[in-house]
Amino acid sequence: MSIKHCKIDIYPNPAATSGFLDLEQVIAELESGSNFELLLIEGLGDKTGFSPVIQLDVSLYGKWELLLERLRNLKIPSVAVVDGYCSGLSLEVVLSADVSVATENASFRMPEVGAGYLPGLSIFRLAKQVGLGNAKRFLLRGEVWSADQARQYGLIDEFQAQRDVHLSVASLVEQMSPEHFNACRMGRRLLDESFGASYEDFLGRFLAAQH
């Protein structure tokens, strides 16, 4: 499988544009019809601690959200790799990727509410991924989740020792044949729509997805 590697850096200042531009350039390349079959996103996690809680302006969040929507709509699967302390925009990327893998040293937190404001649109996706009760604790109480807890609650898919994390990625890649991912992509979309659609509307969308 042909893999497109993307390492983004949004630490220590999540308001910096370099990480955005790196990811935007890679997504634009993949949208243009490249031959890559999987996107691997690395650089998510700070080795020194959680990034400072900085209130980003609405326009910057809007740009990131549009970019993450493009990530979610790629025709190829995406895998996010976390090594270190993950919060803020890095957590937004994790929630937008198809699969997420962490090292055993990774930890996760959503500290924005404790600082007096709301996070980005991860608040829209969080409960869908981890369940409402877990999402409330994570968001409202600012709980710190270890990699093991994050896997148990459904925030990430796998965690491994740092030396073995790429073996886990390789195993996931083997499972993601183009035929498999076409079904996964339709299933992902239908799961998202199931939270807001009536049974009748959902049935029509399900039947349309069979063609």
In this predicted structure, what is the pLDDT of residue 63? Answer: 85
In this predicted structure, what is the pLDDT of residue 119? Answer: 83
In this predicted structure, what is the pLDDT of residue 82? Answer: 93
In this predicted structure, what is the pLDDT of residue 106? Answer: 94
Banded pLDDT at 178 (limits 50, 70, 90): low
Rounded CA-CA distance 188/14 in Å is 28
Mean pLDDT for 46-60 is 75
pTM: 0.85
User: Does the CA dihedral 191-167-92-155 come out positive or negative?
Assistant: positive
CB 79 within 8 A of CB 169: yes
Report the b/e string of 102-118 with b at 16+ CB within 10 A. bbebbbbbbbbbeeeee
Banded pLDDT at 95 (limits 50, 70, 90): very high
Mean pLDDT for 56-60 is 74
Looking at every residue in the chain, the average pLDDT score rounds to 83
Mean pLDDT for 48-68 is 79
Whether residue 17 has pLDDT greater than 80? no
